[in-house]
Amino acid sequence: MSSPAVPSVLFVCVHNAGRSQMAAAFLTRLGGDGVRVRSAGSAPADAVNPAVVEAMKEAGIDISAETPKVLTADAVQSSDVVVTMGCGDACPYFPGKRYLDWTLDDPAGQGVRAVRPIRDEIERRVRGLLAELGVEVTR
């Protein structure tokens, strides 16, 4: 008996230093082996935003070793769902992919206090996405 394919999700924002990193970390934590996760940026920063790292640490997730990655057409093509967060026209479009656009405040230049509500909203949306994908929350 074959098991259903594991869905693949790509989170994209401009710098891959904040929103997309948080979303990928939450999906990885909450979805476990039930989902494949990627994140990328159309113009990646040199490092993940330190306030984002701190806010995620408060949520029990360490993303301090993560690095921003460049968005490639291959990453989009190999994903079932592409979640954009302000990447605008820089995100390649491929027919047959499911695209979601999450409008969220940009944590760039913000302190941890301003990042917390963004983090919490991302977690809420990730939980909703897992439910839509039929993936059981592992935690």
Active site residues: 13, 87, 91
Phi/psi of residue 62, nearest 5 degrees: -95, 115
Please list, in sequence order, all residues whose beta carbon lies within 8 angstroms of the beta carbon of residue 89, skipping any fewer than 6 positions away: none
Sheet architecture: strand order including 36-41: 36-41, 8-13, 81-84, 98-101
